[in-house]
Amino acid sequence: MWRRGERPYALLVFLVVALEALALGGLVWVFSGRLLGAFDHPMARLHLLRALLLTALALVVLGAYVLVYHAYTALKEARDKALYGRYLSAFTEALFSGTKPPPPPWPEPALEALLHLRETLKGEMGEKVARWLRRGRPPWALRLKSRWASRPERLEALEALGLARLPETLEAILPYLEHRDPVLRLAAARAAARAAQGKGVLHLGEALLKAELPKGALLEVLLLLEDRAEPVVALFLEKGGRGEVWAALEAIGRLHLHGLAKRVLPFLEAEDPEVQAAALRALARLGYPPVGHEDVVLGLLRREEEFLRVHAARLLPLLPRNLARRALWEALKDPSFYVRRAAAEALASLDLELLRKAVEAHPDPYGRAMAAQVLLEVAWNS
């Protein structure tokens, strides 16, 4: 990423290289003329001296700029760090003692201190910090709307708006979900997830459907929404593609959205195995029995994909007890170590006596060994 002051440095380097190219071109032209007899010796020597002087001058200017730039950067960083500490102490004291904060306008380190407090504090104190941020009139939303803002400046602005969590800034963030740069799209999605409130949550969901983000990024956004995620998850299940549906199913389980548990069941029969696995995980995390889809779950135990069999085995304890016991007994014969492991652990949670019986009487030697291992771990943990 670019740091402030590096654009002039890049321009200076470009000019130095261009001047060197010009000097070398002039030397080639003069020496070629000398070889052909077009120029005499004094003229060739004069051009050589000019090229050497130009090179020396360029190197001196470049070296001086580098030294001044690094000295200035070190001093500025030290000054900003001192300002940040001073304003953080002042804002913290005002927050907890009830006194007034330092009057605006505030420098950038002061805004960073407010962002730190906003990220740390929740509830009433967090809202108080948000009001102070509004009073400070931070420039981040304006930077997003500026045509001349650089990519790093926009990324910094998006990060700051995400930390600030000001709902009124969502309007400035959402257009970046259609940006051609995938890094800016991801940063905008994160910031919008933190800032969205009320109707803005649905506006964010509609924008995410068009953002073409990878499914992992979509899941991250849903998790950042926390208790505001349910409308977006429902929208993804209704209108989303494969990635959006996968992210929604994962979020249902991880955020424990019990109100959407029934909508997970149809996805047990989806064509995409990844979506089926996400549905199995969601039901298992919610503890929601797949009523009416027991045959589908049993059928997944016979699928070729190992990960599907693993998740199906973990869901079996939520089926009717006798059906689950028989299916788990059979799953202990699975050729996959991970499926046998999942079956033994599920059997331990469902019927410990049947697991003890499997140690002695299961027909598959690998199934007996796995049952013995899990039984030993249960005894150790208890």
Percentage of the chain beyond pLDDT 90 is: 69
- Average confidence (pLDDT) over 17-44: 71
pLDDT at 239: 95
Q: How far apart are CA 238 and CA 267, in angstroms?
A: 12
pLDDT above 90 (res 289): yes
pLDDT above 60 (res 5): no
Coil, strand or helix at 113: helix
pLDDT above 60 (res 3): no
Q: How far apart are CA 42 and CA 198, in angstroms?
A: 81
This prediction has a pTM of 0.81
Q: How far apart are CA 225 and CA 232, in angstroms?
A: 9
Q: How confident is the model at residue 1 (pLDDT cuts 50, 70, 90)?
A: very low
Q: How confident is the model at residue 2 (pLDDT cuts 50, 70, 90)?
A: very low
Q: How far apart are CA 130 and CA 167, in angstroms?
A: 10
Q: How confident is the model at residue 4 (pLDDT cuts 50, 70, 90)?
A: low
- Average confidence (pLDDT) over 42-68: 76
| Residue 253: closest CA among 283, 275, 288, 209 | 283
Residues 251-273: tens digit of each pLDDT? 999 999 999 999 999 999 999 99
- Average confidence (pLDDT) over 104-131: 90
pLDDT above 80 (res 101): yes
294 burial class (0-12, 13-18, 19+ CB within 10 angstroms)? Answer: middle
Residues 6+ apart with CB under 8 A from 162: 187, 190, 191, 192, 193, 194, 195
- For 31, 143, 161, 188, 194, the CA distances from 130, given in Å and listed in that order, are 69, 19, 11, 20, 13
* Contact status, residue 230 vs residue 254, Cβ threshold 8 Å: no
Residues 194-210: tens digit of each pLDDT? 999 999 999 999 999 99
Structure-token match 């050497």, residue found: 52
Q: How confident is the model at residue 59 (pLDDT cuts 50, 70, 90)?
A: confident
pLDDT above 70 (res 6): no
pLDDT at 297: 95
Q: How far apart are CA 111 and CA 109, in angstroms?
A: 5
| Residue 95: closest CA among 68, 74, 114 | 114
Among 13-27, 65-79, 100-114, 156-170, the range scoring the smallest mean pLDDT is 13-27
Q: How confident is the model at residue 40 (pLDDT cuts 50, 70, 90)?
A: low
* Contact status, residue 218 vs residue 208, Cβ threshold 8 Å: yes
Mean pLDDT score of the chain, rounded to an integer?
A: 89
pLDDT above 80 (res 135): yes
Q: How far apart are CA 178 and CA 355, in angstroms?
A: 54
- For 19, 93, 165, the CA distances from 139, given in Å and listed in that order, are 38, 25, 15
Q: How confident is the model at residue 41 (pLDDT cuts 50, 70, 90)?
A: low
Q: Which residue ranges make up each domain of the chain?
A: 1-74
pLDDT above 70 (res 82): yes
Residues 305-360: tens digit of each pLDDT? 999 999 999 999 999 999 999 999 999 999 999 999 999 999 999 999 999 999 99
pLDDT above 60 (res 44): yes
pLDDT at 43: 72
Q: How far apart are CA 140 and CA 133, in angstroms?
A: 11
Residues 166-191: tens digit of each pLDDT? 999 999 999 999 999 999 999 999 99
CA dihedral 280, 284, 290, 295 (to 10 degrees): 50
